[in-house]
């Protein structure tokens, strides 16, 4: 039986003491300014820098009238919060033409499929190229993967040193196996043209191939449980990591993952690594913890202040139907009958809260003759990948999922999300419905809400109001108070537990 260590004190990262923090910040700030000055001088002399954390704004971007930048900033409601008052402020990189030169000219080639950087890419890229720690908050489906991915790849291709075997230079951590795989799939388009090795590490499959791939990989994309395992048995050494990403950062910092993350980052010195966090929701409960992993991070928010209320993507039409729990199945079949008719049935993602519920709902949908697949933690990993692929390809047009599929998954053309059972937190609601309306498209979400969910009515009302959606009277009747400690519920229903191990706490989903 394996063990899940949650309390190895010696592995905890040292907390910065109040007395040494200003010294460290002072040093890193002046370092960065020196680096920027150095690269400007080198470019003027026609030489290129081998430093991988430098950025000089393109002269064409500097030449843009300020009014154009101001319009971009206000249109997308962009906010920068930088604790380092004297750090250089960079203009958003509003066109791919303004990308800084890269030693490997192939790196930017795959970007040709996109018209322009998305706002979160435009605003975070300069900071990330310059080596800053960044917290990026932007709506679901807004291109955050490439926002952290491209600077990572540039940093590694600029670096002249090749990495020692089993000593990767970058680690990207994601909460679920499917999301880790998706990030990996996005990155290989770029690593293939730049010759940077990348490996995807997750539980539920054999470790042998992963160990072999770790020998040469410069970038490791991983779920925390398996990465920690391989780290602890000596299959990988993370002491040379200089770029660390927590994707879905609020999830990665919640109680279910916090200790794993602390253990994983323990050997990566804060002074030598750039730490990057991205998410669509940023509850207050995780912000202090996030700061303990970062050095003077710049927070970039697209679409409004990171207030206590999570924000949904504004292009998603949200309908909430307050009903008796006994009416859910009929309503579900009614909705599917409408969306699945004709030659081109719509892709519909149906969310349940419990694995058993998901299995029952999948059976029901299948019995009614719809092409359905399921994804939840009781399935083995190959079934999970197979079913997800069936939905992606359209072989199944309905996917029934637990919250394991709520975050990050980028499935083309999901037209409708149906919440059969409300999730445990309003943040999860925002992520679930964010599986539709991606990359600038419109989407639709229908949520069945019962009296049992009334504790979350206040938070939901705020999400609906902020997105200018209709708030049903029946929902208001449940009350509008927002419960403070919702976030503690995170982690209970979705966690990927390595199948080689036994969980020491009860988990309802993987």
Ligand X SMILES: Nc1ncnc2c1ncn2[C@@H]1O[C@H](COP(=O)(O)OP(=O)(O)OP(=O)(O)O)[C@@H](O)[C@H]1O
Can you give the binding site for ligand X, defined by CB under 6 A?
Answer: 114, 117-118, 121, 140-146, 280, 408, 410, 434, 438-439
Residue 369, C-beta contacts closer than 8 angstroms, at least 6 positions apart:
none
Q: Which is nearer to ligand X, 13 or 304 (CB)?
A: 304
The least distance separating ligand X from the CB of residue 350, rounded to whole angstroms, comes to: 18
- Rounded Cα distance between 171 and 167, Å, is 11
Cβ proximity of 201 and 230 under 8 Å: yes
Q: Is the dihedral of CA 39, 43, 49, 54 positive or negative?
A: positive
Length, in residues, of the chain? 510
- Rounded Cα distance between 316 and 431, Å, is 12
Q: Which is nearer to ligand X, 117 or 491 (CB)?
A: 117
The least distance separating ligand X from the CB of residue 282, rounded to whole angstroms, comes to: 12
Planar angle of CA 240, 245, 246, nearest 5 degrees: 130
Q: Which is nearer to ligand X, 395 or 439 (CB)?
A: 439
Q: Which is nearer to ligand X, 114 or 192 (CB)?
A: 114
- Rounded Cα distance between 413 and 378, Å, is 26
Q: Which is nearer to ligand X, 406 or 475 (CB)?
A: 406
The least distance separating ligand X from the CB of residue 181, rounded to whole angstroms, comes to: 12
The least distance separating ligand X from the CB of residue 117, rounded to whole angstroms, comes to: 5
Q: Which is nearer to ligand X, 266 or 314 (CB)?
A: 314
Helix (H, G, I), strand (E, B) or coil at 231: helix
The least distance separating ligand X from the CB of residue 182, rounded to whole angstroms, comes to: 7
The least distance separating ligand X from the CB of residue 155, rounded to whole angstroms, comes to: 19
- Rounded Cα distance between 394 and 391, Å, is 5
The least distance separating ligand X from the CB of residue 434, rounded to whole angstroms, comes to: 5
Structure token digits, residue 409: 């998954």
Cβ proximity of 432 and 438 under 8 Å: no
The least distance separating ligand X from the CB of residue 392, rounded to whole angstroms, comes to: 12
The least distance separating ligand X from the CB of residue 241, rounded to whole angstroms, comes to: 21
Q: Which is nearer to ligand X, 87 or 153 (CB)?
A: 153
Beta pairing, strands 198-201 & 219-222: parallel
The least distance separating ligand X from the CB of residue 185, rounded to whole angstroms, comes to: 10
Strand partners, 398: 348, 372
Q: Which is nearer to ligand X, 303 or 434 (CB)?
A: 434
In 100-230 the beta strands, taken as DSSP E runs, fall at 134-137, 170-173, 198-201, 219-222
- Rounded Cα distance between 181 and 385, Å, is 9
Q: Which is nearer to ligand X, 118 or 169 (CB)?
A: 118
Q: Which is nearer to ligand X, 118 or 447 (CB)?
A: 118
What strands, in cross-sheet order, belong to the sheet with 316-322?
316-322, 443-449, 414-419, 347-351, 398-401, 372-375
Helix (H) or strand (E) holding 301: strand 298-302
Structure token digits, residue 256: 């279910």
Closest CA to 187 of 154, 212, 236: 154
Q: Tell me how far apart the terminal alpha carbons of the chain are, to the nearest angstrom.
A: 18
Residue 129, C-beta contacts closer than 8 angstroms, at least 6 positions apart:
53, 54, 55, 100, 151, 154
Q: Which is nearer to ligand X, 166 or 385 (CB)?
A: 385
Helix (H, G, I), strand (E, B) or coil at 319: strand
The least distance separating ligand X from the CB of residue 414, rounded to whole angstroms, comes to: 11
């Amino acid at each position: 039986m394996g063990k899940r260590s949650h309390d190895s004190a010696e592995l905890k990262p040292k907390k910065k003491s109040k007395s040494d923090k200003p010294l460290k910040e002072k040093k890193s700030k002046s370092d960065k300014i020196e680096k920027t000055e150095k690269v400007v001088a080198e470019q003027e002399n026609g030489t290129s820098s081998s430093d991988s954390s430098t950025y000089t704004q393109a002269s064409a971007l500097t030449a843009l009238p300020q009014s154009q930048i101001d319009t971009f900033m206000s249109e997308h409601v962009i906010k920068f919060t930088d604790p380092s008052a004297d750090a250089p402020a960079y203009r958003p990189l509003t066109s791919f033409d303004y990308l800084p030169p890269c030693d490997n000219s192939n790196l930017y080639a795959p970007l040709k499929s996109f018209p322009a950087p998305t706002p979160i890419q435009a605003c975070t890229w300069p900071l990330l190229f310059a080596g800053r720690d960044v917290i990026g908050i932007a709506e679901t489906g807004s291109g955050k993967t490439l926002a952290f991915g491209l600077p990572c790849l540039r940093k590694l291709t600029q670096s002249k040193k090749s990495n020692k075997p089993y000593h990767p230079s970058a680690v990207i951590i994601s909460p679920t196996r499917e999301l880790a795989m998706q990030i990996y799939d996005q990155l290989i388009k770029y690593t293939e043209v730049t010759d940077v090795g990348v490996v995807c590490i997750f539980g539920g499959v054999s470790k042998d191939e992963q160990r072999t791939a770790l020998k040469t990989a410069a970038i490791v994309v991983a779920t925390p449980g398996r990465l920690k395992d391989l780290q602890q048995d000596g299959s990988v050494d993370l002491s040379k990591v200089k770029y660390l990403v927590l994707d879905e950062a609020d999830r990665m910092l919640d109680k279910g993952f916090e200790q794993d993350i602390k253990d994983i980052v323990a050997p990566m010195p804060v002074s030598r690594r750039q730490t990057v966090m991205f998410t669509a929701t940023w509850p207050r409960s995780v912000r202090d913890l996030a700061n303990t992993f970062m050095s003077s991070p710049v927070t970039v928010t697209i679409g409004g202040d990171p207030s206590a209320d999570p924000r949904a993507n504004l292009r998603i039409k949200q309908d909430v139907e307050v009903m008796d729990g006994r009416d859910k199945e009929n309503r579900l079949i009614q909705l599917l009958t409408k969306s699945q008719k004709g030659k081109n049935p719509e892709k519909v993602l149906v969310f349940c809260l419990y694995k058993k519920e998901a299995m029952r709902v999948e059976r029901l949908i299948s019995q009614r003759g719809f092409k359905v697949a399921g994804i939840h933690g009781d399935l083995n990993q190959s079934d999970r990948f197979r079913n997800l692929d069936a939905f992606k390809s359209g072989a199944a047009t309905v996917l029934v999922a637990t919250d394991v599929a709520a975050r990050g998954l980028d499935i083309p053309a999901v037209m409708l999300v149906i919440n059969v059972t409300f999730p445990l937190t309003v943040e999860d609601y925002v992520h679930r419905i964010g599986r539709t309306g991606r990359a600038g498209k419109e989407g639709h979400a229908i949520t069945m809400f019962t009296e049992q969910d009334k504790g979350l009515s206040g938070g939901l009302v705020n999400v609906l109001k902020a997105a200018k959606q209709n708030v049903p009277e029946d929902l208001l009747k449940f009350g509008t108070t927002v419960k403070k400690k919702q976030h503690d519920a995170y982690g209970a229903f979705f966690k990927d537990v390595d199948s080689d191990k036994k969980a020491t706490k009860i988990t309802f989903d993987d």
